[in-house]
A and B are shown apart, each in its own frame.
Chain A
Amino acid sequence: MMYDYFKNMVDGVSQKILQDPDSINAKKKYVLEIAKIGQKLYTRDERIAWCGVTIPFDLLNSMGVTSCFVEFVGAMLSSNETAPIFIKEAEDSGYAPDSCAYHRAVTGAMLKDIMPEPDFVIGSSSPCTAGLAVMEDMARRFKKDFFILNVPQNNSKESVKFLTDQIKEMTRFITAHTQKPLSMEKLGRALEFFNESSLILKDIYNLAKQTPSPVDNKLLKDFGTVIGLIMGTREGVEICQAFKDELIDRIESKKIDPSKEKIRIMWIQNRIQYKFPIEKMLEDFGVKIVVDELNDVTWEPMDPDNPFESIARRIISIPYSLGTNERIAHMQLLAREYKLDGAINPCHWGCRQGTGVRGLTTKGLKDVNVPVLNLEIDCVDSRNLAQGQIETR
Chain B
Amino acid sequence: MATQKIGFTCAYAPVPIIEAAGFAPFRVFPETDSKDQSGHMLHDNLCPHVKKVLDRALDEDLPELEGMVFINSCDSMRRLSDAWQEARPYDRTILLDLPSSNTDASTDFLASEYKRMLKTLCQWNSVDVSLDNLKSRIDAWNSLAQTLGNIEHAMGHNFYPGLSSQYQKIINLTAMHSVDKAFLKAKEIDLDKMSPQKGHAPIFIFGNLLFDPKVFNLFEDWNMHVIDNDFCTGSRFVNSVDYDASQDLFYSLASSWMMRTPCARTMDIADPGAIAQKIVDRAKSCNAKGVIGFTVKFCDPYLARIPMIREALQQESIPFLMLEGDCTLGSMGQQQTRIEAFTEMLEV
A103 contacts which chain B residues (CB < 8 A)? Answer: 304
Q: Which of A129, A148, A359 contacts B43 (CB 8 A)?
A: A359
Q: Flag whether B160 is at the interface (Cβ < 8 A).
A: no
Tally of B interface residues using CB under 8 Å:
47
When the two chains form their complex, are residues A356 and B75 in contact, meaning their CB atoms are under 8 A apart? yes
Q: Are B95 and A356 in contact (CB under 8 A)?
A: no
Interface presence of A112 (CB below 8 A): no
Q: In the complex, are the beta carbons of B97 and A323 less than 8 A apart?
A: no
Q: Which residues of B contact A169 (CB under 8 A)?
A: 105
Q: Which residues of A contact B308 (CB under 8 A)?
A: 137, 140
**Of B81-89, B179-187, B243-251, which stretch is located at the interface?**
B81-89
Q: Contact check: which of B43, B112, B269, B297 meets A158 at CB < 8 Å?
A: B112
B272 and A136 contacting across the interface, CB-CB below 8 Å: yes
A325 in contact with B272 (CB, 8 Å): no
A353 at interface by CB-CB < 8 Å: yes
Name the residue of chain B whose CB is nearest to the CB of A135.
B272
- Per-position 1/0 for A145-180, Cβ under 8 A of B: 011101011100011001001100100000000000
- Give the distance in Å from the alpha carbon of A136 to the alpha carbon of B301 in the complex: 11
With A169-B105, A352-B79 as known contacts, state yes or no: A359 contacts B42, CB within 8 Å: yes
Tell me which of A94, A130, A323, A359 contacts B40 (CB under 8 A).
Answer: A359
| Contact yes or no, A137 B45, CB < 8 A | no
> What 1/0 mask marks residues of chain B from 70 to 83 whose CB sits below 8 Å from any chain A CB?
00101110110111
Q: Give the chain A neighbours of B116 by CB distance below 8 A.
A: 158
Query: With A94-B310, A162-B109 known to touch, is A146 a contact of B269 (CB < 8 Å)?
Result: yes
Residue numbers in B under 8 Å from A356 (CB-CB): 42-43, 45-46, 75-76, 79
Residue of B nearest to A168 (CB): B105
Chain A residues with CB below 8 A from B99, complex form: 125, 148, 150, 162
Q: A133-B304, A137-B273, A150-B106 are in contact. Are A159 and B97 (CB under 8 A)?
A: yes
Interfacial chain A residues near B86, Cβ < 8 Å: 360, 363
A95 touches B304 (CB 8 A): yes
Residues of chain A lying within 8 A (CB to CB) of residue B46: 352, 356
A325 in contact with B273 given A150-B101, A162-B105, A353-B75 (CB within 8 Å): no
What is the 8 Å Cβ interface bit string for chain A, positions 352-382, against chain B (1 contact, 0 not)? 1101111110010000000000000000000
A208-B222 Cα distance, complex, nearest whole Å? 64
Q: Is the CB of B85 within 8 A of A325?
A: yes
A349 touches B45 (CB 8 A): yes
Residues in B with CB closer than 8 Å to A359 are: 39-43, 83
Among B39, B41, B109, B300, which residue has its beta carbon within 8 angstroms of that of A99? B300
Q: Which of A154, A165, A357 contacts B105 (CB 8 A)?
A: A165
Q: Mark B31-58, 1 if CB is under 8 A from A, else 0.
A: 0000000011111011100000000000
A54 CB, nearest partner CB in chain B, Å: 13
Task: Give min CB distance, A345 to chain B, whole Å.
Answer: 10
Question: Quick one: given A150-B101, A323-B82, A359-B41, are A352 and B303 in contact (CB under 8 Å)?
Answer: no
- Chain A residues with Cβ below 8 Å from B40 are 359
Decide if A99 touches B273 in the complex (CB within 8 Å). Answer: no
B304 and A352 form a contact (CB under 8 A): no
- Residue among A136, A153, A349 with most chain B CB within 10 A: A136
Cβ B306 vs Cβ A153 within 8 A: no
B158 at the interface (CB under 8 A from A): no
Alpha-carbon distance between A162 and B97 when the two chains are bound, in angstroms? 11
CA distance A349 to B46 in the complex (A): 10
Is A357 within 8 A of B83, CB to CB?
yes
| B82, A325: Cβ atoms closer than 8 Å | yes
Q: Distance (Å) between the CB of B104 and the closest chain A CB?
A: 10
Q: Which of B97, B267, B300, B310 has the most CB of A within 10 A?
A: B300
The answer to whether A130 touches B300, judged by C-beta atoms less than 8 angstroms apart, is: yes
Q: Which residues of A contact B284 (CB under 8 A)?
A: none
The residue of chain A having its C-beta at the shortest distance from the C-beta of B310 within the complex is A94
| A and B contact pairs by CB, cutoff 8 A, 8 listed | A93-B307, A123-B100, A133-B304, A137-B304, A137-B305, A152-B97, A352-B46, A352-B298
Listed in ascending order, the chain B residues whose CB lies under 8 Å from chain A are 39-43, 45-47, 72, 74-76, 78-79, 81-83, 85-86, 95, 97, 99-101, 105-106, 109, 112-113, 116, 264-265, 267, 269, 272-273, 297-298, 300-301, 303-308, 310
8 extra A-B contacts, CB within 8 A, seeds A323-B95, A352-B46: A130-B75, A133-B300, A152-B72, A154-B97, A349-B45, A352-B298, A356-B76, A359-B39
